[in-house]
Structure 1
């Protein structure tokens, strides 16, 4: 017969609590490692996105003998209409010829195209999005009116697609035009991109491997909206083209700043208000810095502690500034 006096083995309450505590400690130790692994994967995907943009730009250069322009000025212009930007022109060179054919940058203005192709403009294009920097699918015109464009008559407001990648243009404020002195950023952009630009690799006298083409920008920075960038097009301001320091009408919540970046402010600078002038800076959600595409097609992570001189002279006298200038003649230190 079964001996009812024999007790079955089991856990005491104290033993159970100890086991639960041990499991909790193991999970606490494991969670940061999992998060780091996920961030490493996202950073690798972002790196790959930038390399694909670099390959597209090189293929564009092989075809046309120049890099795509920062944007193409439409004349005569109408306030709030769109001008095609660099990201639209490289679509056929990154296996997105169908999107290019639908948008028709070679035939239509963005404001003509967006009325019939709003969804195409606003679709998430993962090749232009960093997976570490979440944001909305597209810019909401009621929240970011400067990140939207009107139709060809200047009415309506259509939100543009969102991108986390902007071209590198200057060490001072972003400009429409090219600088007259490529060592100083106050008269124009010293990087390879500007209005109707036709920069060729021959113009990179500092070397392709020493010059930025594209850098990152987040949707938010320190919890405040930075709004990243606009995809395919850029908004006009008062019929003078996209707003910029040299356009005669500066508005920091729209214009060139939405498609281009500057190192006037350090990477990951503290943002004090949504879409203010500090939003022209480069930023990322990768801890410690940002990723940049270089002229030779390589992609490097640049620490936000890199040497940067904000002395107000706006000349290329620090490592980060020399990486922006394509022909400043300065020697680039370690980065």
Structure 2
């Protein structure tokens, strides 16, 4: 009888552990989903004000894309109040400056919770998860980007000229509006999460925007171009503002079709399942 009781207790303990793990994973996924929805709202507000989506990197003829300020920097006025955090120096009339220049350099070390997947490899301070960790002059380590803008199909997608069928929403010097999305906003990806962290969230290069590199399929999962934060699943923000959970095992051709704004691809029925 004692052996039976011990076996039952062990089984119940194992079941409880699995339940707790699943509940935690679902909670983290929901938090990531809310982050992406807020990012979508901020991008939408930017489009209303500027009549276009933010560029992948701030305009500059003197700086390489990776030295320019990112689209994430461009939408920060919609994510938090600069004045509320005593950050009046981070004005957007400095978009032509490098992210390495002061005071933008200090902002690169600030952890903005909305721009961080809570299950990404990078772990911000506890206070940063609540809202914003103010730039600390003594801290020099930049905070990496965990959400990446989709530039289209091909590693060179951010540099493609407007009208190329491989174009996605984000381009370095390519202006994109909602009217350019011929494939439909509900079938066009805008931002995806990643566990492959690079340069800071304020940098306008590959750290914050990527084209799908067909030589590196599958696209989703740990160590891949996108995903890897949630087991078997990746959170993606679409151009209509919706956030969907995509299986890492999705057909690469379908994922490629979702990356373009006017590729004319026909999606197979039930691709979301």
Shared fold (TM-score greater than 0.5)? yes
Total equivalences in the alignment: 250
> Which contiguous aligned blocks of 4+ residues in structure 1 show a shift greater than 4 angstroms?
17-21
Evaluate the alpha carbon distance shift between residue 230 and residue 175 of structure 1 in structure 2; reply closer, same or farther with a 3 A threshold: farther
Distance 1:268 1:284, change over 3 A: same
Q: Is the 8 A contact 1:122 1:137 kept in 2?
A: no
Q: Which runs of 5+ in 2 are unaligned?
A: 126-139
Aligned to 2:231: 287
**1:207 deviation in Å?**
1.1
Partner deviation per Cα, 1:238-258 (whole Å, 9 max, x = no partner):
xxxxxxxxxxxxxxxxxx321
TM-score by length of 1: 0.67
Does 2:82 align with 1:112? no
Cα shift readout 1:207-257 (whole Å, capped 9, x = no counterpart)? 111101100101xxxxxxx325631224xxxxxxxxxxxxxxxxxxxxx32
1:94-113 residue pairs with structure 2 within 5 A?
Answer: 94-98=79-83, 101-107=88-94, 109=97, 110-113=99-102
SS of structure 2 residue aligned to 1:291: strand
Q: Distance in 2 between matches of 1:270 and 1:121?
A: 25
| C-alpha distance in structure 2 between counterparts of 1:21 and 1:75, whole Å | 70
Is contact 2:46–2:54 with CA below 8 Å preserved after alignment?
Answer: yes
Q: CA offset at residue 199 of structure 1?
A: 1.1
CA radius of gyration, larger in: 1
Partner Cα separation in structure 1 for residue 43 and residue 222 of structure 2: 31
**Corresponding residue number in structure 2 for 1:88:** 73
1:217–1:284: 8 Å Cα contact kept in structure 2? yes
The CA RMSD measured in Å over matched residues stands at: 2.8
Q: Is the 8 A contact 1:167 1:214 kept in 2?
A: yes
Decide whether the 8 Å contact of 2:57 with 2:65 is kept in 1: no
1-structure distance, mates of 2:36, 2:184: 19
Cα deviation for residue 50 of structure 1 reads 0.4
Matched residue, 2:159: 177
- Alignment match, 1:9: none
Q: Provide the TM-score with structure 2 as the length reference.
A: 0.81
Q: Does 1:321 align with 2:270?
A: no
